[in-house]
Amino acid sequence: DFNFYVDGEHVSITPRRRGSPLDTIVAELAILANSTWGAFLHDHGVPGIYRSQRAFGAPTGPKRTRMQTTAAPHEGLGVSQYAWSTSPLRRYVDLVNQWQLIACVQHGVTAKLAAPFKPKDADLFAVVQGFDDTYT
């Protein structure tokens, strides 16, 4: 990441320093939004693409982060569910979740009938598989 400064016809480019207080605020707000919107999907019975992770101290089972279509805890972040939704320009998963969220807002209790992806939808599983193939 870089910062661009324009002064007349002179452009300066400097590396962006990570770890600023603003970065922390943005990260925390993304966690809040993604966990809240994940709960919204779950409460409406609409499938989404969730990230889950077991606690590092859990006695058995995989500790890695998983993508799945049902709500599950992301113990690494300390939230009951976590559905990536805040960066649809960067991640297709986020765009899919936003389509599902729009169905919830527009259709309320009938959202699961109107949502683009239904439970056990092969296309939804294909999105999860495509993500896993790329990033795991």
| 29 has pLDDT over 90 | yes
Domain tally for the chain? 1
The answer to whether residue 2 sits within a structural domain is no
Which tens digit of pLDDT belongs to each residue from 77-119? 999 999 999 999 999 999 999 999 999 999 999 999 999 999 9
What pLDDT sits at residue 5? 94
User: Could you tell me the pLDDT band of residue 42, with boundaries at 50, 70 and 90?
Assistant: very high
Q: Does residue 120 contact residue 113 with C-beta atoms inside 8 Å?
A: no
Pure H helices in the chain: 21-43, 92-107, 111-114, 122-135
The answer to whether residue 25 sits within a structural domain is yes
| 13 has pLDDT over 90 | yes
What pLDDT sits at residue 116? 96
Average pLDDT, rounded, for the chain = 91
The answer to whether residue 1 sits within a structural domain is no
What pLDDT sits at residue 130? 87
- The closest alpha carbon to 128, from 28, 30, 44, 52, belongs to 52
Q: What is the pTM of this model?
A: 0.82
The answer to whether residue 34 sits within a structural domain is yes
The answer to whether residue 11 sits within a structural domain is no
| 136 has pLDDT over 80 | no
The answer to whether residue 120 sits within a structural domain is yes
| 19 has pLDDT over 90 | no
User: Which sign, positive or negative, has the C-alpha torsion 74, 80, 83, 87?
Assistant: negative
Q: What is the DSSP annotation of 48-68?
A: --EEEB--TT-SSS--S-EEE
The answer to whether residue 97 sits within a structural domain is yes
Pairing type for strands 2-7 and 10-15 reads antiparallel
Q: Which domain holds residue 29?
A: 17-135
Average pLDDT over residues 26-46: 97
The answer to whether residue 41 sits within a structural domain is yes
